[in-house]
A = this chain, B = another copy of it.
Amino acid sequence: MEPWRTAIVNKDETHIWLRGYDITQLMSRASFASVLFLLHKNRLPTDGEERLFNALLIASADHGSGAPSCATARLAASGNRESLSAAVAAGILAIGDVHGGAGALTMDAIEVIVRGAKTAGGRISDAAIRFVDRAKEFGQRVPGFGHRVHTTDPRVSVLFQMAKDAGIAGAGVETVLALDAALKLRKTDIPINIDGALAAILYDLGFPPSAGKLIFIAGRVAGLTAEVAEEHEREKPMRIRIPITYDGAPPRDL
């Protein structure tokens, strides 16, 4: 078999290097969040970037036992007591475009709008209005907006303020705020959600759209491990009973 190529980890009998940095130096002096940043970006973050990246991971960490990823992990833990890996993995499998993964779609939308503004030689705010109008015309959702629990997601404004204070807010934050203004202009009052805020900031930190899902997963795993631990500590196996209504074919003979 051809060797696999990688630019992430190198090692010998007595060393491990992550992106070229000796792991013992990273362990002594770096934070876990900056190593995650390093693994993805091939450079360590500045202080401001590190602060913001920590905030973003904390914002993704957990959103309650009933969030689809957490509930899926707990349900798997309820039936499969012997594998902690299995329960955490099940939780991750519930993360997709509609849950936690909308960041990737929003980053795609940001890219489209920023490029659209450039091509038209115009402003992001105008491109955002065109984007919203086209979405409405075709009955599509604007990614990064709307939440089933929060009227105002408390995480969003904190993230945007931190991004501004650190001088990191750029076209990503501008575009999401422009979409927010465009939606209000068109009388659609739905709040920016955490996926939208994450996408804006990951964009301004220079991450590609796939990071919208991958970084969310890295953050959410913190909560998933705690949810699974709690299920094991506090609950009996098989405790979860889902109420079911059957509305299918009546009894029939073979």
* A interface residues with partner B (beta carbon < 8 Å): 1-11, 13-33, 35-36, 39-40, 42, 44, 54-55, 57-59, 61-66, 68-69, 71-72, 74-76, 78-90, 92-101, 104, 148-152, 154-155, 158-159, 162, 208, 210-211, 213-215, 217-219, 221-223, 225-230, 232, 234-235, 237-238, 240-254
Contact = CB atoms under 8 A, between A and B. Distances in A.
Copies of this chain in the oligomer: 4
Enumerate the 10 nearest inter-chain pairs by beta-carbon distance, A residue then B residue, closest first: A7-B248, A80-B96, A68-B79, A20-B249, A79-B99, A66-B242, A83-B83, A39-B226, A79-B94, A3-B243
Given A11-B149, A254-B29, A23 B58 contact: yes
Nearest to A219: B32
Contacts of A54: 27, 30-32
B81 A247 contact: no
B66 A4 contact: yes
A89 B179 CA distance: 33
A99 B241 CA distance: 13
Given A14-B151, A22-B154, A42-B248, 12 more contacts: A4-B244, A6-B244, A6-B246, A14-B152, A15-B154, A21-B253, A22-B251, A24-B155, A36-B225, A42-B249, A79-B95, A86-B86
B1 A241 contact: yes
Given A28-B162, A78-B68, A94-B78, A229 B210 contact: yes
B238 A64 contact: no
A98 B82 CA distance: 9
A101 B162 CA distance: 37
A17 B84 CA distance: 25
Contacts of A247: 5-7
Contacts of A96: 79-83, 85-86
A238 to B, nearest CB: 5
Given A9-B246, A27-B55, A31-B33, A75 B94 contact: yes
B80 A94 contact: yes
Nearest to A29: B254
B90 A72 contact: yes
Contacts of A16: 63-64, 154-155
Contacts of A89: 86, 89-90, 92-93
Contacts of A94: 75-76, 78-80, 85-86, 90
